[in-house]
Structure 1
Amino acid sequence: MVAAAQERMPTLYLSHGAPPLADDSQWTAELAAWSAELPRPRAILMVSAHWEEAPLALGATTRVPLVYDFWGFPEHYYQVTYDAPGAPELAESVRKLLCAPGMPVQDIPDRGLDHGAYVPLVEMYPAADIPVLQVSLPTLDPARLMEIGRRLAPLRDEGVLIVGSGFFTHNLAALRNLDAGVPGWSAEFDAWGRDMLENGDVDALLDFLRTSPAGRLAHPRTEHFAPLFVTLGAADATGELDTQKSVIDGFWLGLAKRSVQFG
């Protein structure tokens, strides 16, 4: 992509929710209000918890079907469409920024957007008129993901909105009683994560399974927290860690939906 003379785009981490996000009027309103306050992106680069692939993979750069990567939901969730344009120029820029010894990049041209990407985008950019590229999580190692974010950071000056999509707490197996309110482990981890973000304590965040309360309950697998580190890297590269703000907080079915913006 050719650099454009425009303001630097923020970089986001959002808790994307399950497909029923579309039925939660508060959440959809929060996402819509958030996007309305952002500069309009030239393109969107999505990193979702729901695509782990190594080496790092670039998804479709043309319009292909969505990936309905969930099971047992009512049929209407499988009828959702999001026909955003592909972003071949962005894919080429990502390839150039990331390709290095020990960091190969592959193409999976038939891989469409999964629900970690399209569910929030339907609410934030419903016209589906902004080119979108999804890339995989090649690792769950926070430090390596931060480095990927740092390498991608120049795209922000070209009008690209870099979005890490996960869930601030994510342990579906522990949510045995949905009427029991917010589990202690979810509330404790959310409060800790808020404080670490506000204090800019990246070292604690990088080592979150050891330094946080209930970290292993909040994230028995860490793929939903992992996209945060791409976002942190993209902010760190431009010296903007101290600009963080939580745009959305609170809980959904006991899970923390904290979503943050840098820049």
Structure 2
Amino acid sequence: MATAAPERMPALYLSHGAPPLADDPVWPGELAAWSAALPRPRAILVVSAHWEEAPLALGATETVPLVYDFWGFPEHYYQVRYAAPGAPGLAESVRKLLRAPGTPVQDVPDRGLDHGAYVPLVEMFPGADIPVLQVSMPTLDPVRLLEIGRRLAPLRDEGVLIVGSGFFTHNLAALRHPGGTPGWSAEFDAWGREALEARDVDALLDFERKAPAGKLAHPRTEHFAPLFVTLGAAEAHGELADGRSVIDGFWMGLAKRSVQFG
């Protein structure tokens, strides 16, 4: 008997938080509710703000220790485990889709999931029973990342959940307020919401010049950059009009806006 084709998976961009996300009274529940409403993935591909490496690199395809890429936190945050299965078949599919003349793909077999990957996955898929592959960002150029997303889009029809993991605003040095949300964070978040709703990819690509407080919300672009992989994976299927914000609001002054396409 023929096996049914897997359901096309959505493409996500999520604000991944920091290790203390687990202690927040609201956000973990929002992530859990989001994942509960998704079809179950066959595998998860994560592009995290916390792994930049060129040429593009594929992380471990078997279970290896996590990367605790943060400093100065209480010890219990370093005791978190997330022993998700590796995804060697997905890695081979990614190689075929991305490798081209002048575009090599490398393997880093001992590179475990960093906190941009495992912190949200612990809340969304706590059973750690879905294979996960992390892929590096070989560039922060939004146009090139958009193209990578387009080339990865066929994986969605194979039951792969593509996740761009960043933070919708991210300037830790500017968080000097005793409480509340800084104006620059609120202004950028509002602009980004409107640009996403208008499907204005050109404005998003040029966010450093076109967004209010663009340079202040993202003095370095690595936490906004994964959005463009997600946008490319959505655009390839003509799904930009299907985008919606699933989570919004602020956490410690940073916009936690997270969006789904498809």
The two structures share one fold, judged by TM-score above 0.5: yes
Q: Match of 1:253?
A: 252
How far off its partner does 1:249 sit?
A: 0.1
Q: Match of 1:141?
A: 141
Q: Match of 1:205?
A: 204
Q: Match of 2:29?
A: 29
CA offset digits 1:38-96 (Å, max 9, x no partner):
00000000000000000000000001000000000000000000000000000000000
* SS across alignment from 2:222: coil
Identity of aligned residues (%): 84
Q: Match of 1:193?
A: 192
CA offset digits 1:83-122 (Å, max 9, x no partner):
0000000000000000012211000000000000000000
For normalisation by structure 2, the TM-score amounts to 0.98
Residues 92, 4 of structure 1: CA spacing in aligned structure 2 closer, same or farther, 3 A cutoff? farther
Q: Match of 1:227?
A: 226
Once residues 115 and 231 of structure 2 are traced to their aligned partners in structure 1, the CA distance between those partners, rounded to angstroms, is: 22
CA contact (8 A) 1:139 1:145 kept: yes
Q: Match of 2:171?
A: 171
Once residues 227 and 184 of structure 2 are traced to their aligned partners in structure 1, the CA distance between those partners, rounded to angstroms, is: 19
Q: Match of 1:244?
A: 243
Once residues 173 and 218 of structure 1 are traced to their aligned partners in structure 2, the CA distance between those partners, rounded to angstroms, is: 11
Letter in 2 for 1:133: L
Letter in 2 for 1:67: V
Once residues 103 and 151 of structure 1 are traced to their aligned partners in structure 2, the CA distance between those partners, rounded to angstroms, is: 12
How far off its partner does 1:134 sit?
A: 0.2
How far off its partner does 1:25 sit?
A: 2.3
CA offset digits 1:15-56 (Å, max 9, x no partner):
000110000120000000000000000000000000000000
Q: Which moved more, 1:95-104 or 1:28-37?
A: 95-104
Once residues 104 and 238 of structure 2 are traced to their aligned partners in structure 1, the CA distance between those partners, rounded to angstroms, is: 27
Q: Match of 2:9?
A: 9
Once residues 4 and 65 of structure 1 are traced to their aligned partners in structure 2, the CA distance between those partners, rounded to angstroms, is: 35
Once residues 76 and 174 of structure 1 are traced to their aligned partners in structure 2, the CA distance between those partners, rounded to angstroms, is: 27
Once residues 88 and 11 of structure 1 are traced to their aligned partners in structure 2, the CA distance between those partners, rounded to angstroms, is: 21
* SS across alignment from 1:57: strand
Letter in 1 for 2:59: G
2:114 corresponds to 1:129: no
Once residues 137 and 120 of structure 1 are traced to their aligned partners in structure 2, the CA distance between those partners, rounded to angstroms, is: 18
Letter in 2 for 1:34: W
Displaced runs of 4+ in structure 1, greater than 2 A?
Answer: none
Letter in 2 for 1:26: V
For normalisation by structure 1, the TM-score amounts to 0.98
* SS across alignment from 1:20: helix
Once residues 155 and 73 of structure 2 are traced to their aligned partners in structure 1, the CA distance between those partners, rounded to angstroms, is: 36
CA contact (8 A) 1:166 1:227 kept: yes
CA offset digits 1:118-147 (Å, max 9, x no partner):
000000000000000000010000000000
How far off its partner does 1:4 sit?
A: 6.5
Two-structure CA RMSD over aligned residues (Å): 0.9
